[in-house]
Amino acid sequence: MSGRGAPVVVVGAGPAGIRAAETLAAAGVRPVVIDEGRRAGGQIYRRPPEGFSRTPQTLYGPEASKAVALHAVFDAAAASGRVDHRPESSVLALGDGALQVLGPEGRSSIAYDRLILATGATDRLAPVPGWQSPGVYGLGGTQIALKAQGLTFGRRIVLAGSGPLLTLVAVQLLKAGAAVAAVLDTAPLGRQIAALPELLARPVFALRGVAMRAALGGRYHAGISLDRIEVDGRGPVAVAWHDAGGRVRRTDCDMVGLGWHLQAETHLADLAGCAFDYDETWAQWLPRTDRMGRAGDGVYLAGDGLRILGADGAEVAGRLAAAACLADMGLPAPDAAADLRKLDRLDRFARGIAHAFPWPAEMIRALPDETVVCRCEGVTAGELRKTVDYGGAEANRVKSLGRVGMGRCQGRFCRLAGVELIAARAGTGADSVGRLRGQAPVRPAPVEAWMDRGCGAAGSG
C-alpha cells in the first residue's frame, strides 16, 4: 500500500465496480475507476456505441431497468466529478502500491491507497476438436456481437456447452432473427432437475429459465457429448455429437458458439497477492476473502471475479466491498446486514446453477490427442499428456515445459482444461495439480508503452 494521499482505485465498471464507486462517492471518497470499456456497464450491461438505436428493452430484456439504472448512476457520478473515470484503459500489472495502466494516452502509473478489483468473468471453455477454427466463438462473445454490434457470424448457428448463458444467447439470437440450428447442452436433464430446490432460491429467475428453454423447442438437447466441429478452410460446416441416448448426430452449421458458464477473471487478484482455494462446485481456483470481499492488505474483491453470482450478486458485492473499504479507512460505512443476507440467497442459487450445469470434466479427460487445447499456440492434448509424462503433473511446470497457458491469452481459455488433462494423466483430481500463477502483463502491451516519453509513447494497444 502506498498510504494516504493516494486514491481508492476501482478496476472494472460493470455492476460490481459501479456500485462500489457509487458507495465510495456517497461517503465523500472520490475513486479512480479504471475500465476497458468505452462506456461503463461491463459485459452484461454493455452499451452499444453512440448512434445505435435499439432500446434497453431490446438489448437487456427483463433486466433493462437494472441496466438503465446502473448506467445512469455511473454517468451522473462521472459527469459531476464524484468519480474519476478512466475508460478504454487496461491494468497491465500492479505492485508496490501502484497500477500500471495502458490507456488512450499510453502507459501511466496510478498509485493507490486501497484497491477494489471488480474484474468480472470470461466464458469458461472446454476444448472441442476443431474449436480453433475461425467462426467458433465464446457464448459471451456471441452475445456481445449481438448486443454491442447488432450482428452474428453465421447463417446457421450451433450453440454448445452448458449454463444459463447457453439458453439465454439462443433465445436472444432467435428473437433477433438469427437461425439457430441446435442448442447442445452437456448437462444431463437429471442433474438440472436435481438442482431445482437450490434454484428456487430465486423463483423468478428459475421460472424465466424454464420459459426460455421452452421457447427453444426441439432445438434443445440435454445430456449430449460433443465429438468435434467439422471444418473446411473457411470455418465450421457441422458439429458432430452424441445425444443422451448415445446415438451419433450431426448438425450442419457455419458458426459455433461455445461456453460452459463462466470463469472468474483473477489475474490481478493473483498479482495483488490474494490467496486462492480450489472450489469444487465451480471447478476453478477462486480468491479467498471474508464475506465483505476483504482479501487483506487494502485489497477488496467484488463481483464475478470473486464468485460467479451474476449481475445482481455483483451489485451487492460491489456495495459490500466498498463498505468494507470505508470501514477500514475509519469512515462511516453503510450497514451491510441486508446485503449480506441477499448475498447468501444469491450464493445458494448460484451453487444450484453450478450443480445443474456442471463442468464437463469427463469429456475433457477423454479428448483425442490431436485436439488443440491451447488456442494461442496450437498445443494439443497429446503434447500436453507427453509433457506430463516427461515433467510431472504440476500445472506451472507443464506450462513451462509444454507452453499450455503461456500464450497471449495468459491461460484464460486453456488453463482449466489443461488442469483436467494433467490430472487425468496423473490419475488425480483437478485440485491436486496446482494453480497456474498469473504473470504480468495481464494484457499484451506494445513495447513502446515502456519506452521513454517523447520516443513514441502515444500509441496504444
Partner 1 sequence: MIGAGKDAPGAGRVVRLAEQGRAPVRFRLDGADCAAMEGDTVLTAVLASVPALRRSEFGPEGRAGFCLMGACQDCWVWQEVGPRLRACSTPIAEGMKLLTEAPGDWT
> One symbol per residue from 174 to 213: x for binding partner 1 (CB under 8 A), - otherwise; what is it?
--xxx-----------------------------------
In this structure, is the dihedral angle defined by the CA atoms of residues 167, 173, 176 and 179, taken in order, positive or negative? negative
Closest CB 437 distance from partner 1, rounded Å: 18
- Smaller CB distance to partner 1: residue 7 or 402? 402
Among the listed residues 9, 83, 126, 146, the single contact to partner 1 using CB under 8 A = 146
Spatial distance between the Cα atoms of 396 and 295, rounded to a whole number of angstroms: 24
φ/ψ of 231, rounded to 5, equals -130, 155
Segment contacting partner 1 by CB under 8 A, of 18-26, 142-150, 243-251, 431-439: 142-150
- Smaller CB distance to partner 1: residue 81 or 456? 456
List own/partner pairs for 383-392 with CB under 8 A and 24 or more apart. Answer: 384/418, 384/421, 384/422, 385/421, 385/425, 388/421, 388/422, 388/425, 388/426, 389/425
Among the listed residues 6, 26, 244, 409, the single contact to partner 1 using CB under 8 A = 409
136 sits near partner 1 (criterion: CB under 8 A): yes
Among the listed residues 219, 249, 342, 375, the single contact to partner 1 using CB under 8 A = 375
- Smaller CB distance to partner 1: residue 53 or 80? 53
Identity (one letter) of the amino acid at 323? A
Burial class (CB in 10 A: 0-12, 13-18, 19+), 230: middle
Size of the site for partner 1 (CB under 8 A): 60
Among the listed residues 7, 17, 31, 138, the single contact to partner 1 using CB under 8 A = 138
Closest CB 396 distance from partner 1, rounded Å: 21
Q: Please give the C-alpha separations between residue 238 and each of 35, 75, 179, 185, 253, in angstroms, as whole numbers.
A: 38, 44, 14, 16, 5
Identity (one letter) of the amino acid at 271? L
- Smaller CB distance to partner 1: residue 286 or 325? 286
Angle subtended by helix axes 310-328 and 337-356, to nearest 10: 140
386 sits near partner 1 (criterion: CB under 8 A): no
Q: Are 21 and 75 in contact (CB under 8 A)?
A: no
Identity (one letter) of the amino acid at 419? V
Identity (one letter) of the amino acid at 460? S
459 sits near partner 1 (criterion: CB under 8 A): yes
Q: Are 110 and 34 in contact (CB under 8 A)?
A: yes
368 sits near partner 1 (criterion: CB under 8 A): no
- Smaller CB distance to partner 1: residue 38 or 365? 38
Residue the block writes with cell 496450437: 378
Residue the block writes with cell 465464446: 138
Among the listed residues 31, 141, 164, 358, the single contact to partner 1 using CB under 8 A = 141
Among the listed residues 87, 150, 429, 434, the single contact to partner 1 using CB under 8 A = 150
145 sits near partner 1 (criterion: CB under 8 A): yes
52 sits near partner 1 (criterion: CB under 8 A): yes
Spatial distance between the Cα atoms of 318 and 267, rounded to a whole number of angstroms: 18
Q: Are 417 and 128 in contact (CB under 8 A)?
A: no
Question: Which residues contact partner 1 (rule: CB under 8 A)?
Answer: 36, 43, 48-54, 58, 88, 90, 122-123, 132-138, 140-142, 144-146, 149-155, 176-178, 231, 233-235, 254-255, 265, 372, 375-378, 408-409, 412-413, 443-444, 446, 448, 459-461
